Every structure is written in C-alpha cells, then in structure tokens.
Amino acid sequence: MADRPVLIGLPYDASSSFLRGATDAPPQIREALRTTAGNPWSERIVESVTADVLEDLGDLEVPATGDARRVIEDAIRDLVAQGRRFIALGGDHSITYPIIRGMAGRVDPLTILQIDAHPDLYDDFEGDRFSHACPFARILEEGLAARLVQVGIRAMTGHGRDQAARFGVEQIDMRAWYDGARPGVEGNVYVSIDLDGLDPAFAPGVSHREPGGLSVRDVLTMIDGLTGQLVGADIVELNPRQDPFGLTAPVAAKFVKELAAKFLDDDRW
C-alpha cells in the first residue's frame, strides 16, 4: 500500500520554555503502542497500527537548534509530495509550525483542530518567536491555515485573548466545553493534540500540568466524530521524565490507534 499512512518521530524539545524531556517521548509511545499487554485494534474494531496499515518511519534525526525547523519542514514536505498522510510524535509543540509549513500548498484550505490547555499564540515568549508557546501565531500570520479551532483552553492570558481575536481563532475553553459546546470541522483537517489538554489525572506526564481539563474519552470522542478529511496529526508534549509510572504514553498510543483508524476508508468500518 503505497499510500498507507505513516508514523514519524520528531524528537525535539529545544524550544520548551520550562522543562526538557519531550525529546524522549517517541520511543515511549512506540513501546506503549506495541506492548503485548494490548492489541493493535482500534475501537472501531479495525487493525489500525499493524505494519501493513501504518508504516513506522522511525525518528527523524533532528538537531537541538533552530535548524530543526528546516529539517522537519523538508521531511514533511517530502511525505506530503508522495501523497502520504502521517501521525507525528513530538517533541514539544513548536514542531507543529514546521509541519504545517511542510504541508502548505498541497492540502489547502486547511483547518487545524488543536487540543490544548494553552492557546500557544504568543507573538514571542521570553524573546523566542519559535517557542512552543508560539507555533499557532506563526502559522496564522503566514496564512498557513484557513481555520484554527482550539479545544480545552484553560490557561489563557490577556495577550492570548488579544491574539485569538486578531487571528479569528475559534475557541472552546473548558467552561464552554462543560456547558456543551463542541467543535465542528470540515474539509482538510489537521489534528494537533497537546497532551496537557487533558486533565493531569489522565495524563500526568507533561511539563505544564493544568488542572480542570479534558478526559481521555472526551478526546477520543472528538477523534471519532471528525467529519472532515484527516490529512495529518501530531501528538506532542509527552514528557517521560515527569511520568515515572508510565501513565501517559499509553494515552498517547491510544490516540495513535484511533487517529490511524481515521485514515482508513469509511468502507472499512
């Protein structure tokens, strides 16, 4: 299957603003994905992560410098040029910016569904315009996405509010989620899952724990309910150094299974 989706690790965390450790995440997610304690079947009862369905390209060799953005962008551009859809394993959330740059011009117009505690819309953070607190500001100011829909926000600042208004970001913060608001996306959809979008009770192994978040089932329901064409995804901000009991990698692996299942034709369900 030349067009089967791929899994690619992007072990980069040099743009993290608080703690390092997300660079260690891709192997941990793979271990959780392949453990014999589970199986490769999605909740739709489809084998979604076997080698004949989801090709694993391993980890990209990414320097711990700003050159990483060029390396990531080039790798994603090559995949998209081949017609390949992908799930990227971060890494910190800064990787989403070069990923989307690598997709530009081939999957337009693009809607991004971002699951996150933070809007990541800073114009710059502590003098760094490419911090993991900034990727969606870079994406939107370059016109790389037609829509950005953010779900799970609960750590907004005044600057983030102003940036959201500036770029026309659609937000469902946790108060709105609790009141029943749900995202609606269509067309070409890219899903970016920051694991701190979940409540720390479900995903403690992140660098920026923010109480009051989504459950694992909430996120699975959003994945299951996607109505657009899924063209790519990332799962970011797992920090194994903050997860001594290994509780969060299995959550990330669960999301890989269900995202991979979404890449299959509806006829398979």
Q: How confident is the model at residue 1 (pLDDT cuts 50, 70, 90)?
A: very low
- pLDDT-derived band at 265, boundaries 50, 70, 90: low
pLDDT value at 41 more than 90: yes
What's the pLDDT score for residue 267?
35
* Cα angle 265-260-19, degrees, rounded to a multiple of 5: 155
Q: How many CB atoms lie within 10 A of CB 161?
A: 14
Quickly state the pLDDT bin for 51 (edges 50, 70, 90): very high
C-beta neighbour count of 143 within 10 angstroms: 10
Q: Does the domain made of 6-268 have the CATH classification 3.40.50.720? A: no
d(CA 99, CA 203): 24
Span 122-143, average pLDDT: 96
Closest CA to 100 of 118, 116, 86: 86
Count H helices, E strands: the chain? 8, 8
pTM of the prediction?
0.96
In this predicted structure, the answer to whether residue 2 has a pLDDT above a threshold of 90 is no
Q: What is the pLDDT of residues 73-127, one digit of tens each?
A: 999 999 999 999 999 999 999 999 999 999 999 998 999 999 999 999 999 998 9
DSSP string, 138-201: HHHHTT--SEEEEEEE----HHHHHHHHHHT-EEEEHHHHHTT------SEEEEEEEGGGB-TT
Cα torsion 60, 141, 93, 7: sign:
negative
* % of the chain exceeding 70 in pLDDT: 97
Domain boundaries, given as residue ranges, for the chain: 6-268
Give mean pLDDT, residues 226-253: 96
